Amino acid sequence: MNPTYDFNGQVALVTGAASGMGAATARAFAEAGAALVLVDRDETRLEEIGRAITSAGGKAITLAGDVADEDLAKAAVGRAIAEFGRLDMAYNNAGILGPMCPMPEETGEGYDAVNAVNLRGVWTFLKHELIQMRKQGAGAIVNCSSLGGLVGLPGRAAYHATKHGVIGLTKSAALDVAAEGIRVNAICPGCIDTPMGDGIEPEAMKAFLADQPIGRAGRPEEVASVVLWLCSPAASLIVGVALPVDGGFVAH
C-alpha cells in the first residue's frame, strides 16, 4: 500500500501529462487533493485526462503545446497563479525517445528534436517554476531524467545525452535555490510500461528487461508514487538527487 498525502490547497504542474508517467502522476496528485495545471502537445488526450480529473471532483486546467517553447512555460505558470493563486509542486516529465541508431548515423535534426523536448523543455519549465516559487519562498520540483541519465547504452546517444543533461541541470538549479525553501530533484526511471516503450523493438526490450533485476517493467503508478514522495514534507532533506527508479538496473 502506498503512503497517502494531503495536498489540499496546493497546486501542481505536470508536463507530458497526457499519457504514461505524466498521466499517472497527474491522477495521483489529484487524488491527494492538489489542483493541477497539465501540459502536453497531444491536446486530445490531454483534455481527456483533464476531464477525468474534474469529473472525479478534482481541479485541473490544460494547456497544449511544445514544452521547448518558453512562452508556453511562462503561460502555464501564469495560469496556475491566475486560476489557483500559487504553484507548490511540479513534475517536469515530458520527453521523447527519438530515433534509435548508432551515434555516427544520427542526424543533427534528430538530435535537435530530442534535445528540444528532453532538455530544453525541462529547462524552460524549471526556470519559470522557480521564478514563482522564489516569490513564495517554498516549492518542490521533480525533473524526469532516466536510467539513460546514469548509464550509456548503444544506439541511444542523443537520448542519453539529454537525460544526462537533465541531471546536471537539476543539481545546479537545486544548489541555486536550496537555501530559499525550494527543493529540486530528479528521478531516473528504468523500463516503464508506457507508450514510449512501444518505440523499442521487442528483442531490444526483452534484452533490456533481462538486465532489470526485478524481471519486469515498472508501472507508471510506481513512478508517480516516487514523485509525490519527493514533493511531500517526508522528503524535506532530499535536495539535488538523481534517484533511480529502475527495479535495480544500476545496482549491478
Q: Which residues are catalytic?
A: 159
Angle at 102 between CA 99 and CA 104, to 5 degrees: 105
Angle between helices 157-177 and 108-115 (to 10 degrees): 30
Task: Dig out the grid coordinates for 212 from the structure.
Answer: 532489470
Contact call for residues 149 and 245 (beta carbons, < 8 A): no
Q: How many CB atoms are closer than 10 A to CB 176?
A: 13
How far is the C-alpha of 147 from the C-alpha of 213, rounded, in Å? Answer: 14
Q: How many CB atoms are closer than 10 A to CB 167?
A: 19
Contact call for residues 60 and 36 (beta carbons, < 8 A): yes
**CA distances, 12 to each of 25, 100, 176 (Å):** 10, 33, 21
Could you list the beta-strand ranges (E) of the chain: 11-15, 35-40, 60-64, 89-92, 139-144, 182-189, 242-245
